[in-house]
Amino acid sequence: MAGPLESLNARFPCRERQINDLAALLSQDDIPAPPVLVLYGTEATGKSTIAKAVLDEFGVPYAYVSCKECITARHVFEKAYTSCDALITPSNGAEKGKQIRPDSVNSLASQLQKLIPSSGKVVLVLDAVDKQREMTPTMLSGLARMGEIINNLTVVMIVTVSSTRLLNISEPPSIHFPAYNKEECVKILSLNPKSIFEVDEDDEYSEEMEQEDRWLWAQCCSAVWDIMGKYAARNLNALKDVVDELWPSLIQPIVDNEYGIRDFPKLFNRLKNEKLRNSEESYVSMQITRAPVDTPADAVSSVPNRAHDLPYFSKYLLCAAYLASFNTARYDTRYFSKLAESTGKRKRVGKRKNTSRQLNRKHLGPRPFQLERMLAIFQAILPSSVLSSVDIGSQIATLSSLRLIRKVSNVASATDASSKWRVNVGYEYVKVVGRSVKFDLETHLEE
Amino acid sequence: MDTDSVLNDDSGSLEHQACYIYTPTSEASSLSTPKKRRAASSSRTPRSKRERIDSKNCETVGAPRGHGFPTLLRDLEDEDAVNARYEAFDRFWGDVERRTNDVLAQVNDETLQSVSTFVSKADQVIYSEKLPTGLILTGPNIAAHGVLFQQIETRIQSVDKRGRVAILTSKDSSNLKNVLKKIIRCITELQDGFDDEDDIVEAKAGRNPSRYNYDPEIIHDWCSTHPDAKVVVAVQDTEAFDPAVLVELISILHQYLPKIPFILLLGIATSEDIFYEKLPHSTIRLLRGDRFDVQRFEEAMEQVFEEAVLSSQSLLKLGPRVADIIFERQKDHTRSVSSFVMALKYAYMSHFYANALSVILCSIDDEESMNKILSDTHCEAIRNLPSFKNLVESTIPTFPWRARDLLTSNKTLKSAVFSATKECQRYSTNLAEAITLFRKLQSIVSPQQATEIPTYELYSRILWGEFTTRPAFRDAMLTTKKISSEKFHTLLTTLSELPSELSSTLSESASKVQELQSEKAAKGSSLVSEFALPDSHRTTVKSGRVRLDELKSGMTSQDTEYHKLVTSTVQALETYFKDRFKPYTNLFLHEIFFYDLKSPHSQVFAAKPRPSVERALSRPGDYLGCECCGGDDDGEERGIGGSQPYAAILYQLYLESPALIGVYDLWSAFRVVSLGDKADQEADEDDEEEKELQAQFYRALAELRYLGFVKYSKKKTDHLVKLAWKGL
């Protein structure tokens, strides 16, 4: 009995209690397993992995369904049934004449009842069952009660948060997987450290080198946890991602023989300075990172390629849309009238009374405007007037299919003068666009 | 009106369009107008206009032909000539189109290549549980996206055989189920034909139990039979794709990544930042990959322009006015190569359709066949060309007898035409050659300027012959003088490699520069010409001069020789360019070789529906042409008149009203305008005239509503909301 448990504990450190509980509940042949078992805990705490590993290790027959992979509720039922089917009658899937396709919890339960033999133990693992895309209110409790109807079936439900209301069963047996703390994280990640130097085939990976790798890796992990544990690297997987991303640049000085391996503080400082110098705002990029593929051609083609440009009038249209969204209509005469000088003063007096508004319009989000108003502003801000033609209309259509502006009202015709629109991009983008046609957005924008 | 008739005549190409046959009531008018026009079409009217009239005249006579080209020249054109024009159009345009398509196929080649490499390299090991993602920065020209993704599909699927591609557009993004169905259908090539209702795909080959038709396991099954194939999911318009569905899709693809080698390609038209703003960080962290840039519009356009217009294989060139219109529209409105190709095709079409003399282009190499096809009427038409007038006027002072021959003898004229065609061809070839040479020079001397102004924007100025006086040209020449000797040498060698009459002179000077350079290098310094001497920074003129003298005295004999060489070479280049960049209007028959009619393009490609409607309503006289509606030419502001159409009256009243219009106010104003003096009388309920007027009022109002100018207000009863302002 001790053998499998020990090996499991070696593979999954810091989870002894959970492994013991699971083994006790599911793997004892003489004790009937509970009808339902809930494993709960936040992301990346080893729920699914450990459940599967324990079941494998003790040779308990189980069917595994990842509900995240399923698109609809029926899809979950179908998968649950087929996986049980494959478990019990492994080879005759092809000979089945009539396909059984349960489309509700009830039919799944009755089909499983027919399928599952009365002796022996069957475990159905439903992973991330609360993340299911098409959740009906009774689905979870229905699934949970299947184990009560079918004698020797145990339903293992893996969820993020457990509560009695979730399954409508009073206190189902449950095992909590708490989030790992710093020591545990570092310990787990240290199981397979990355090496500093490329290990060649003929080079022997010496004990000493392994020690050093392990030490530096652990240092790096704990440093990253200290800095980002609360924000970017909240769980084990995220922490691993971040460390993986930082690792190559961290060890670069060692490879270049600039620093020794034990100079960890210096190494980390250097990394920090480098990131600051490249004016990156954070340690980890919030963009799609490049895969470590050798692409020598890339280095050549990284010559600053000028961005793709919008047509000239499209830029003005976008500026007009932004102004129409963020200016109030009643001040339009002030900002866009050709007679702005005379009317401007009068309006300004009127505005002074109205100082209750404190928030900048920019922060309140875009408001819808009528297409006609945008066209009027467009004509007003253009340096030279242009006759409206089909080209202007098609550019509005293009902008909207690029989702730079978007229609908010449900008027049938998009070009109907009374249809309502809204700009869909931020200030910075429009400012850059405006600047490229020498249009100063700021002067026309309401304060 | 004439253009309309031309269009109606073109029954072959426009399929079954509704048409309105106008039969004038009075016979006199129908007879008189064409006569008047015929009389008006003397030699002084522009050719194009006359020919359109000609085509109108022919429409009753012209027998239906397969191609629908009309008989021109007042119906005196030979049947053969008409057919020859049509064939010439087919031949010339077919040639240009083929070459353009070849260029366009290559434009995206680099991108395709890198995407294909990316797909082939995408591997579980490298991407370690992340979804390989390629961001394709496609640029905002939506029309080109479909083509690009088609190319990607064929490249990956058929050429490189790396797997299957499923292209998704925003239309598919209604929900996750439909997206998955579409992907599965594309990957497994299941045709539409199974019932959508029960969501079930029948088991294929008995391998597996049947599945829901949105189950990605189907792809997994497919993958197990195609072990090395990658599954590429390409989203064509990521911006328009519903972000929620995209997030779901990415998470599903990521879930199945261990089983199915998914690769995601996202087409981004605007900017990466906008894309990242839409997705949650947790989703972005699932992705890993690279970004690919598609060639920018300017570069693609430049290549197409060089191939389709500049190349010596294209006989018909764009004239400067048309080129200006086309390229301005490109810059301001469309920025798409395909719209340029359309405009070019239209130019070819209208040239061969409406210009009877375009027949000359068909038999450009064969004098005999040209003589045969040119009839007396053609000769007469040639004599009406403005360029013929120029030719004769320039011949008179030197060879008066030849001028007389040109005017009287068709034979002399024909031989002159033939030599003129040669001349025009030579001009075009020289022009293309000189433009390439100049561009090369510019790219070496001032690369920044060369990238800023593309060739096609220089083109029209060069054709007008005014380019050599432009600052861009003078700058280029001045900087050529000032560049360092090494650069000058490379310039000379590159230029001499291009085919031109200067190449031998240039290569000679290049070797000379080389010689001088090596001589000077032996002394341990480099060649300097006087032009390259640094500007004096001394404050006074005198001290500046002193310093310059000092510098000059430091120059060796090699330097002086080099200076001479630079001066003479630049001089030679300048004369060469000035010679080549002569205005095209100097040429006899330039009307045939350069298509330069502005109005068809501006009318066809940039239709102005709204201004037209507004103009028709606010100034109906412009369209009706009758006396009563104030059709006189002197009055600027004609204002409202009772005799105008009712809708027009109402529209002008509408223009004067505020955003909310009371219907009764509008009616009373309308009544006053329509009735004029009689309006002062009290309204009588039973008055027939009054009743009819009211009916007309409602009808006009309905028309305005139909045109989208007003709608009924919900705020106030019997009020209208003004929707459209004039001039927007």
Residue B113 shares a structural domain with residue B89: no
Asked if pLDDT for residue A331 goes beyond 90, the answer is no
* Neighbouring residues of B458: CB distance < 8 A, sequence distance ≥ 6: B435, B467, B472
Asked whether residue B42 is assigned to any structural domain, the reply reads: yes
pLDDT in the model for residue B641: 74
Containing A122, the helix (H) or strand (E) segment is: strand A122-127
CA distances for B84 relative to B6, B483, B592, B594, angstroms: 19, 53, 15, 19
Q: For A193, which DSSP code? A: P
Sort out which chain A residues have CB atoms less than 8 A from B203's CB and list them: 99
Nearest to B294 by CA among B444, B417, B145: B145
DSSP A252-308: HHHHTTSS-TT-HHHHHHHHHHHHHHTT-SSSS-SSPBPP----HHHHHHTS-PPPP
| Predicted ipTM of the assembly | 0.86
Residue of B34, B68, B31 whose CA lies nearest to B53: B34
Residue B176: inside a domain? yes
Instruction: List the single best residue of A74, A301, A308 to mutate versus B (max B Cβ within 10 A).
Output: A308
CA angle B252, B253, B255 (to 5 degrees): 60
Which of B80, B250, B237 is CA-nearest to residue B168? B237
Same domain, residue pair B369 and B233: no
pTM of this structure: 0.80
The DSSP element (H or E) to which A153 belongs, if any, is: strand A153-159
What percentage of chain A reaches a pLDDT higher than 90?
A: 3
pLDDT beneath 50, residues of chain B? 1-14, 27-64, 190-207, 536, 634-636
Whether residues B271 and B371 share a domain: the answer is: no
Interface check for A312 against chain B (CB to CB < 8 A): the answer is yes
Those residues whose C-beta lies under 8 Å from the C-beta of residue A98, and which sit 6 or more positions away, are none
SS3 content of chain B, % helix, strand, coil (to 5): 60, 5, 30
Residue B632 lies in a domain: yes
Q: CB–CB of B585/B387 below 8 Å?
A: yes
HEC string of B290-359 equals: EEEECCCHHHHHHHHHHHHHHCCCCCCEECHHHHHHHHHHHHHHHCCHHHHHHHHHHHHHHHHHHCHHHH
Taking one residue from A and the other from B, the number of pairs with CB-CB distance under 8 angstroms is 170
Chain A residues whose beta carbon lies within 8 Å of the beta carbon of residue B143: none
Q: Does the pLDDT at position A30 exceed 70?
A: yes
Q: Is residue B39 assigned to a domain?
A: yes
Q: Which two tokens stand for residue B539?
A: 């404050």
CB-based contact A429 B711, cutoff 8 Å: no
Residues A85 and A147 sit within 8 Å (Cβ to Cβ): no
Residues B156 and B220 grouped into a single domain:
yes
Q: Is the pLDDT of residue A349 over 70?
A: no
Contact B654, B722 (CB under 8 A): yes
Residue of B208, B332, B603, B604 best to disrupt the A interface, most CBs of A under 10 A: B332
Q: Are residues B158 and B255 in the same domain?
A: yes
Q: Are residues B308 and B431 in the same domain?
A: yes
Chain B contact present for A191, CB below 8 A = no
Integer Cα distance of A252 and A249 in angstroms: 5
Neighbour count for residue A349 (Cβ, 10 Å): 8
Q: Please tell me whether residues B273 and B334 are part of one structural domain.
A: no
Check A286 against B284: CB less than 8 A apart: yes
Q: Which residue has the tokens 């020598």?
A: A296
Whether B608 and A310 lie within 8 Å, measured CB to CB: no
CA distance B333 to A391: 6
Q: Does residue A98 belong to the interface with chain B, where contact is any CB pair within 8 Å?
A: no
- Clarify whether residues B233 and B315 are in a common domain: no
Of B289, B296, B335, the CB nearest to A288: B289
Is any Cβ of chain B less than 8 angstroms from the Cβ of A310? yes
Q: In terms of domains, do B146 and B252 share one?
A: yes
Q: Which two tokens stand for residue B477?
A: 């020449």
Q: Is residue B487 part of a domain?
A: no
Q: Closest to B728 (Cβ–Cβ): which among A375, A425, A429?
A: A375
Angstrom distance (rounded) from CA B263 to CA B156: 12
Block residue for tokens 């290569």: B507
Q: Do A99 and B288 touch (CB under 8 A)?
A: no
Average pLDDT value for residue range A28-40: 83
Give the closest-approach CA distance of B18 to chain A in angstroms.
Answer: 23
If 0-12 CB within 10 Å is exposed, 13-18 middle and 19+ buried, where does residue A308 land?
buried
User: For residue A150, what pLDDT band results from cuts at 50, 70 and 90?
Assistant: confident
Asked if B708 and B724 count as a contact pair (C-beta separation under 8 A), the reply is yes
Q: Do A290 and B607 touch (CB under 8 A)?
A: no
Q: Is residue B539 included in any domain, yes or no?
A: no
Q: Which residue of A has its CA nearest to B201?
A: A99
The percentage of residues in chain B with a pLDDT greater than 90, rounded to a whole number, is 6
Spans of all domains in chain A: 2-92+100-176, 182-198+209-286, 312-347+361-444
Q: Which residues pair with B164 in a beta bridge?
A: B231
Question: Nearest-CA residue of chain A relative to B176?
Answer: A71
Q: Which two tokens stand for residue A103?
A: 């489309």
Q: Domain check: are B117 and B60 in the same one?
A: no
Residue to test with chain B: of A68, A69, A71, A400, most B Cβ within 10 A: A71
Tokens of A335: 């900002």
List of chain B residues whose C-beta atoms are within 8 Å of the C-beta of residue A416 = 708
CA distances A198 to A125, A240, B128, B546, B679, Å, are 41, 20, 18, 66, 100
> Tell me, which fold does domain A2-92+100-176 have in CATH?
Rossmann fold (3.40.50)
d(CA B626, CA B624): 5
Query: Which of B263, B284, B610 is the best substitution to test chain A (most A C-beta atoms within 10 A)?
Result: B610
Give the model's pLDDT for residue B192. Answer: 40
- The tally of domains found in chain B comes to 4
**Is A313 touching B (CB cutoff 8 A)?**
yes
Considering the domain boundaries, does residue B706 fall inside one? yes
Q: Mean pLDDT in chain A?
A: 78
In B, which residues are within 8 Å of A429 by CB distance?
271, 273-274
Q: Terminal CA-to-CA distance of chain B, rounded, Å?
A: 27
Q: For residue B626, give its domain range.
A: 609-722
| Final residue before a domain boundary, out of B603, B634, B660 | B603
Q: In what order do the strands lie in the sheet with A174-176?
A: A62-66, A122-127, A153-159, A36-40, A174-176
Cβ–Cβ below 8 Å for A291 and B132? yes
CB–CB contact A308 B727 (8 Å):
no
Interface test with A, best of B214, B246, B272, B285 (most A CBs within 10 A): B285
Average pLDDT over residues A149-175: 82
Q: Which residues of A touch B728 (CB under 8 A)?
A: 372, 375-376, 378-379, 388
Distance from CA of B297 to the nearest CA of A (A): 8
C-alpha distances (whole Å) from B4 to each of B9, B19, B326, B347 are 9, 10, 23, 18
Query: Which residue from B291, B607, B728 is facing A390, i.e. has the nearest CB?
Result: B607
Among A244, A389, A401, beta carbon nearest to B606: A389
Torsion of CA B298, B302, B303, B308, to 10 degrees: 130
Contact B574, B370 (CB under 8 A): no
CATH number at residue B624: 1.10.10
pLDDT, tens digit (0-9, with 9 covering 90-100), for A277-326: 665 555 555 566 655 544 433 333 333 455 678 889 999 999 999 999 98
Contact assignment for B272 to A287 by CB distance below 8 Å: yes
Radius of gyration of chain B (CA): 35
- A231 touches B: beta carbon within 8 Å: no
- Asked if B333 lies within 8 A of A395 by C-beta distance, the reply is yes
CB contact under 8 A, A372 and B724: yes
B231 Cβ neighbours under 8 A, 6+ residues apart? B163, B164, B166, B187, B219, B223, B260, B261, B262, B263
Question: In the structure encoding, which two tokens stand for residue B219, read together?
Answer: 């792809």
B281 and B385 together in one domain? no
DSSP state of A239: H
B230 shares a domain with B135: yes
- Is there a domain that residue B559 lies in? no
